[in-house]
Structure 1
């Protein structure tokens, strides 16, 4: 929601008037100097929407504000051209509305189009949410990274490395919405106060690593060369529910130089619906973008969300730091998932991260059953994952 600066206004005053943390207002207006506001300047207030209201008989600004339990000055701020002593029946004014509910519905088939729409909605309502395109998919779709917070400790979450694991993107986006709600409304999640983390932690999120593959699973092959090739790889079948790879038939979580040659020797030797590690490491633009992001951000810890199995993989070749075990034990406690240190699988994003930086990395396998997991599991999976998201902030 936008307001216009009046003489004498300050961001501190707006924070108190709208009951929104000052730092969120400052970060929602990065081009604004807090000490040099100009009359008429637009200021974004996060967590609010505005709506029109038609004046009824007997209405006054005081009555309207009292009925809605808002500060009367919010009405003056939003209606600077209105004479409050001469309100007319049927006249339209603008009223602020605090958003206290999720604005996106993640419990649906979660395509790239749905993700993009949700990102736009969240960015508009919560302008302190930073958004950066870190690369493009094979078909040119944006690979977006989101950042929340100001802390020097950067933690990372990502989803949909595998196409038919798209439910991980939906789970991440629901928690993102809940996290933003808790920040602007100064609320807790499971009794954990969220606002202190804003200054302590920066959360980096790539909600959908493989958008082309996700759309292939959900919508079928696209028109053109890529769709034709995907059909050929899939032996002519229009059923892509078992497809894990990107649109070129490369498994993005088998693309990293962490014993990649072991995977290459025992996995498919050409593009396939799953498990083909590529002809070399880091050939695919999605995998390259994620590798470059890790180097740029220098994550303190990394969580890659996959499905399925209700387990958490946390080791690689004994190179993980001792604190990884403490962290994974907490993840296990809050989710009920089983920690597994070693598994005969390599070349994953988590493996490479641990190998290169010797920092805690985790592959979290959400839910149980056969991929793609049904949306009937969504609420159960979300409750299991919720504790892991929270614990990653404080561990």
Structure 2
């Protein structure tokens, strides 16, 4: 039988829903859970593979134009489900570890980038936020013009927000956790004792792995970051003396005090979606990341 997930296409929210329904129907090992809703009431869905008490979470598409991360995570979920059926070692792993996927954190924004503003009741506001343009390839924010990865409660107040109003990118909002997408993922994270989280973004072939951590948190994160770098071939990035804050990884590292990684897929292409012709390379680099993190749980 062929694959259900086809990542080499413009991967829409509607395709995500269809693929999730097909995968959860085919694989008893995969569980679907709605963890919240977007501004325009699109479902935020988490998929769980495994029954173990230890847990890892992978998420994607905080940023609208970075929808290829959703396709990657869905491809990964199907690949692991197949291996779960075929390999005793993988079945044993997922009896001890649960691997959660939240493939599309920003479904409204993804839909805007891919299909434009015509289907949104906020059409006129979106055009205004986009400086009069009807082309949304560079859009990162949610449908209210707020950058979801500047919304988490870690040094939010100190972010140098020169935007100061809703925009395609970078506006941090009027307060942390103002957006329903962020609140949903934040609450989901608090409800689960995730050992590690990987947040998929694009582009640059880089891994951000620490914020202002130190001591044991820093040491354990560095060891795992080095393994991820060796696996993917991506460059590890030091945040510098004054990192901006507000990101999921920043919050998770400092508050949950466990490793989190922001993984930037694809060669750097600027403020546009990563072209699909890079996908084979991206898949080869990342297909084992979830298994690496799940196995690391057992050594933790």
- Normalising by structure 1, what TM-score? 0.71
CA distance in 2, matches of 1:232, 1:322: 46
Give the distance between the partners of 2:193 and 2:24, measured in 1 at CA.
24
Residues of 1 paired with 2:32 and 2:4: CA distance? 18
CA contact (8 A) 1:138 1:284 kept: yes
Q: CA deviation at 1:185?
A: 2.3
Q: Distance in 2 between matches of 1:360 and 1:376?
A: 31
- Residues 1:347 and 2:238 aligned together: no
Task: Determine whether 1:141 maps to 2:141.
Answer: no
Residue-by-residue CA offset, 1:340-372 (whole Å, 9 max, x unaligned): 232533110010111111101110011112331
C-alpha distance in structure 1 between counterparts of 2:238 and 2:120, whole Å: 43
- Residue 266 in structure 1 maps to residue 161 in structure 2: yes
Deviation at 1:186, TM superposition (A): 2.4
Does the 8 Å CA contact 1:209/1:286 hold for their aligned counterparts? yes
Residue 230 of structure 1, CA deviation = 1.0
Number of residue-to-residue matches in the alignment: 290
User: Mapping of 1:25-104 within 5 angstroms?
Assistant: 99=1, 101-104=2-5
SS of the residue 1:183 aligns to: helix
Question: Could you tell me which residue of structure 2 aligns to residue 153 of structure 1?
Answer: 54
1:153–1:200 CA contact under 8 A, matched in 2: yes
1:185-224 matched pairs, under 5 angstroms? 185-186=86-87, 193-224=89-120
Contact 1:152–1:201 under 8 Å retained in 2 = yes
Structure 2 unaligned regions, length at least 5: none
Conserved? CA contact 1:321–1:358, under 8 Å: no
2:228 aligned with 1:327, yes or no?
A: no
Write the distance in 1 (CA, Å) between the matches of 2:265 and 2:7.
16
The partner residue of 2:137 within 228, 241, 245 is 241
Q: Establish whether residue 132 from structure 1 lines up as the match of residue 29 from structure 2.
A: no
Larger Rg: 1
Distance 1:130 1:266, change over 3 A: same
Query: Take 2:99 and 2:288, find their aligned partners in 1: how far apart are those partners?
Result: 16
Contact 1:231 1:237 (8 Å CA) reproduced: yes
Do the aligned residues in 2 keep the contact of 1:165 with 1:307 (CA within 8 Å)?
Answer: yes
> Alpha carbons of 1:224 and 1:152: their partners in 2 closer, same or farther (altered >3 Å)?
closer
SS at match of 2:169: coil
RCO higher in structure (CA 8 A, sep ≥6):
2
Q: CA deviation at 1:166?
A: 0.3
Is the 2:213–2:254 contact (alpha carbons within 8 Å) kept by the matching residues of 1?
A: no
> What's 1:177 paired with?
78
Does the 8 Å contact 2:213/2:253 carry over to 1?
no
How much has 1:194 moved relative to structure 2?
Answer: 2.1
| 1:389 Cα deviation from its structure 2 partner | 2.5
Q: Is 1:113 the counterpart of 2:41 in the alignment?
A: no
Counterpart secondary structure, 1:345? coil
Q: Report the secondary structure of 1:266's partner residue.
A: coil
2:233–2:285: 8 Å Cα contact kept in structure 1?
A: yes
* Stretch deviating more after TM superposition (151-160 or 344-353): 344-353
Deviation of the 1:266 alpha carbon: 3.1
For residue 267 of structure 1, report the CA deviation from its aligned partner: 3.4
Q: After TM superposition, where is structure 1 displaced by more than 6 Å over at least 4 residues in a row? A: none
